[in-house]
Amino acid sequence: MTPIRVLLVDDEPLARQRLRQMLADHADVVVTGEAEHVEQARELVRSERPDLILLDIRMPGADGFSLVESLHLTPMPYVIFVTAHAEHAVEAFDADAVDYLLKPFDEERLARALERAREAIVSRAPQRGLDRFAVTIGRVTRYVVASEVDWIEGYGNYARLHVGKATHLVRTTLSALEQELDPARFARVHRSAIVALDRVRELQSLGGGEYRVLLSDGTRVPMSQRYRHRLP
């Protein structure tokens, strides 16, 4: 059973606690984090890359809709809005929400919403691997096709895409990207590096269990013993 990674976003601790308790009855659901406001949620979405967000609408500061609008991720997490205010339902479904839970709701209603999320996640699963990256520069979002990327460098909470002589920063971790990329096209070779397999020209042993990957453009990327099995 493939786990569903869920992020809880609600400014009320008791509401998050109740959701967590209800979700515990679903063996395939893993709560990867909790946030009490939009800025905190945005950071967690980009670092944890959840499959699903259970999202309150009215919170101090920015509301839940602004979180959805600010995320430029591929693929986007699915969203179930969880709110005490019925008047936002139309706007929620305009934002492509999977479902809209009106507080208070019971276990049966939550289960139906989760089943809709499962169906959506499964329907997307056949798409093998991330096919493009959304790169936001100011108010402009550009898309970089995955097949154009030579290698990816870890850069704190960012990943730096190397595309020929150009580089682009994407706000996500290397570990999160590794889960999304097609393993037939990309391989993790170091804690700070992922390479495109069709760009690999040579694997050079440096001794002491350390290696170096030489790419077709002459770039040298470090490879550690831990990831040696990723290359034939």
For the chain, the domains span: 4-124, 132-230
Q: Is the pLDDT of residue 177 over 60?
A: yes
Q: Tell me, what's the pLDDT at 121?
A: 86
Q: Tell me, what's the pLDDT at 98?
A: 92
Task: Go through 37-61 and write b for each residue having 16 or more CB atoms within 10 A of its CB, e for each that does not.
Answer: bbeebbebbbbbbbbbbbbbbebee
Q: Is the pLDDT of residue 128 over 60?
A: no
Higher pLDDT, 75 or 227: 227
Cα–chain center distance at 158: 12
- Identify the band that residue 74 occupies on the pLDDT scale cut at 50, 70 and 90: low
* Greatest mean pLDDT range, 141-145, 180-184, 201-205: 201-205
Q: How far apart are the C-alpha atoms of 44 and 49, rounded to whole Å?
A: 7
Class for the domain spanning 132-230: mainly beta
Chain mean pLDDT for the chain: 89
Q: Is the pLDDT of residue 34 over 60?
A: yes
Q: How far apart are the C-alpha atoms of 60 and 35, rounded to whole Å?
A: 12
Confidence (pTM): 0.56
Q: Tell me, what's the pLDDT at 15?
A: 94
- Return the CATH fold of 4-124: Rossmann fold (3.40.50)
What mean pLDDT do residues 21-45 have?
A: 93
Q: Tell me, what's the pLDDT at 220?
A: 97
What mean pLDDT do residues 136-160 have?
A: 89
Q: Is the pLDDT of residue 215 over 90?
A: yes
